[in-house]
Amino acid sequence: MPSILDLEAAVLALREADPILARLIDRAGTCGFRATRSQSPFLALAESIAYQQLTGKAAATIFGRFRALYDGDGRRGRGPTPERVIETSDEDLRGAGLSRAKVLALRDLAAKTLDGTVPPAAKLRRLDDEEIIERLTSIRGIGRWTAEMLLMFRLERPDVLPATDYGVRKGYAIAYRKRALPTPAALLKRGERWRPYRSVASWYLWRAVDLNGKSNDGRG
C-alpha cells in the first residue's frame, strides 16, 4: 500500500539527511504541503489539460467556461463527467476556448476514464506511484510532470520528486548556491538523500524561490 505522509516525521528526516536542506527548512518554517481532495481524478486531470501553456488567469477563465457547459441543464452541480464530455460537440468545447489539441486530449481522458485506465479515486489511491504514472501518461496530452502533480497534490504521495519542474530546479540552485539550474539527473541524484520524503523536499525547494523573490523586492 502507498505510504501516508507524516509531515513531522518528514521534516525531521530531511533535516538529518541534508544539512543544506535543513537550513532552508529553518528559513521557510512550517511545511504547508497539503493535498486537495475535492476533485475527482478526471476533473483534476481535465483542469491540468486546460491550464497547459496558458497563464493562470487565462486558463482559469477557459476552465470556468468548460465547466459552465454542464450547468443549467437540469443536472446542475454534477459538472463535467466523462460521459458528458464525450457527448459534447467539438464546436461547444472549442467555443469555451479550448484548442483543438486540448479537445482531443479531453476526449481521450474521458475515454480512458470510462475504460478504467484512470480509475476512481478510491482505486487510484491503492496503486503505486509508477503504475499511476504509466496509466496517466498513456493519455493524450498528459506527461510525467502532470502525473507527478496529481500524485503530490491530489493523492498526497510522500516520495515524488518532479525533477523536470522549473521551480524545483530553480529552488535547488538558490538553496545550494548553484549558478546554473541542475539537470534532472543531478537533482534526482541529490534527491536520493531525501527518500522517502521527496515530495516535502520539493515543497521546500519551491519555497526557496518564493523566499528569494521576497529578499529581492524589499519585502524581507
Could you tell me the three cell numbers for 181?
539550474
Query: Coil, helix or strand for 77?
Result: coil
Could you tell me the three cell numbers for 78?
454534477
Query: Could you tell me how far CA 158 lies from the centroid of its own chain?
Result: 13
Catalytic residue among 71, 115, 165, 217: 165
| Rounded Cα–Cα distance for residues 111 and 45 (Å) | 13
Half-sphere exposure of 5 (CA within 13 A, CB side): 24
From the list 41, 36, 38, the residue with the least C-alpha distance to 112 is 41
Active site residue 165: yes
Active-site annotation, residues = 165
